[in-house]
Chain A
Amino acid sequence: MSEFKMPSLGADMESAVLMEWLVKEGDPIQKGQIIAEVETSKGVIEIEVFEDGVVEKLLVEPETECTVGTPLALIRSEGSAKKEPSAKTVSTPEVKVSAPKTEAKPVQIQKKEPAPEVRIKASPAARRKAQELGVDLNTLAPEVGTIQLKDLDTLTQDLDKGPSIDGMRQAIAKAMSRSNAEIPHYYLSVSINMTPALAWLGELNSKRSIKERILPAALLIRAVVLALAEVPELNGFWQNDNHLISKAINPGIAIALRKGGLITPALLDAQEMNLDTTMQSLDDLITRTRANKLRGSEITQQSVTITNLGDLGVERVYGVIYPPQVAIVGLGRIIDAPWAEGDALTVRKVMQATLSGDHRATDGRIGALFLDKLNQLLQRPQELL
């Protein structure tokens, strides 16, 4: 018999609200199965079990706020008793093909002049609680995004003061302050000639239907993953004064939300993907991030971060490492730039790739080795298939 506990869904998380059980007592469950939904500052997250067994007892009622480590359910193990999960044994959820577009949320908030019938975005728990309190959600500031249960107290107290704490902002603030205070960063950058890779990709896409096109972002992430496989020191953690290298390459992909905020969900086990599956998984991950449908493992298992600000026109990005990770790779915008080849000066598509490394875990030599591998891989794009 083992206890299924409220997982820590991020270093900054102290508690979360158990929203809903997706299983009932007596149900058989499998490792990797999503058994509950919890609400955190990052939105509603689906949480998975790490073993096969049977749900013996549910210990916590829905809509209860639980601190990290609170036993939520008792699981009767089947067969051999397994130990607590480690990063390696965490199940790999199967990649689901991207959700149909009809799943896009039909509810829209009118920002300018909210009509009375406009439905304010709020979690089910917050909605129920508001009803109990007799509070009209429409009178609460909708600018803060989705109203969550724990926002409700603050919001109802500060009705006159307007919008209050944004949970995600606070979570980012905590993690980044800790990073800057604790991690001695070093920064490296390299100019990469992207002409061969883009020409190759253009050729590949011209032979494919629009539904099977590969975006440069997927090619770049694939290249970063392969480079990390060759320089594994950057893929891991600094914990208790120890440098731990992760076997699985789970890059957290920085995804900006249009309404503000940023989430870096993990592309789990990217080392086992090829170019096509990298593209499909990325597309699926972005869609689910925007639809608030991430799984617990995806917001906790990141072993490195990749930030690609190229879409916004930034040429170079020196990232802040997300602890306990030890590196963040930054990919800038691809621009036409002068490029010397032999004696000739030409114009090429050029991208600045940067690396911020944790100097406690690695030295600049390792970072330089990584950027060199990345550059080499992008000069031979056919090997990225």
Chain B
Amino acid sequence: MTKDQIRQSIIKEIIQVAPDIEEGEIISDENIQRSLEIDSFDFLKILTALYTQLGVEVPETDYAKVDTLEHMAAYFLQRIEDLN
């Protein structure tokens, strides 16, 4: 899986959880929660959906590493590679 595919999965899950957000509003290096008004419940939903899809659970201690779209994609890529 490439980073770009992961990025697309993340965008898809964000829009699934918050249907009023448009793809163009999701900026790569902006804080996902703050810039999109994603609350802690929605954020957990996004991570749960990504776990179902990618098989990677983000522990709470790693939340700082998944704050932006760019960081989140890089984090999942790394974790997926670690699995293999």
- Most B C-beta atoms less than 10 A away, residue of A209, A213, A282: A213
Which listed residue (B16, B37, B41, B60) contacts A104, Cβ 8 A? B16
Query: How many residues on chain B are close to A (CB under 8 Å)?
Result: 24
Instruction: Report B38-59 CB contacts with A as 1/0, cut-off 8 Å.
Output: 0111001101110100000111
User: B2 in the interface, Cβ–Cβ < 8 Å?
Assistant: no
Residues of A within 8 A of B39 (CB): 286, 311
Q: Which of B10-48 contact A (CB under 8 A)?
A: 16-22, 33-34, 37, 39-41, 44-45, 47-48
A211 lies within 8 A of B48 (CB): yes
Q: Which 6 A-B pairs have the closest CB atoms?
A: A210-B57, A311-B39, A215-B40, A104-B19, A210-B51, A210-B48
Whether A104 and B17, one on each chain, are in contact in the complex, defined by CB atoms closer than 8 angstroms, is: yes
Q: How far is the CB of A237 from chain B (nearest CB, A)?
A: 29
The answer, yes or no, to whether A33 is at the interface (CB within 8 Å) is no
Number of residues in A with C-beta < 8 Å to the partner?
25
Chain A 281-310 interface residues, beta-carbon cutoff 8 Å to B = 282-283, 286
B37: A residues at CB distance < 8 A: 256, 258
Report the separation of the CA atoms of residues A283 and B39 in the bound assembly, to the nearest whole angstrom.
11
Contact B41 A206 (CB under 8 A): no
Q: Which residue of B lies closest to A198 (CB)?
A: B60
Whether A286 and B41, one on each chain, are in contact in the complex, defined by CB atoms closer than 8 angstroms, is: yes
- Give the chain B neighbours of A104 by CB distance below 8 A: 16-17, 19
Is the beta-carbon distance between B17 and A217 smaller than 8 angstroms?
Answer: no
Contact B19 A105 (CB under 8 A): yes
Q: In whole Å, how far is B40's beta carbon from the nearest beta carbon of chain A?
A: 5
Structural contact, B18 and A258, CB atoms closer than 8 A: yes
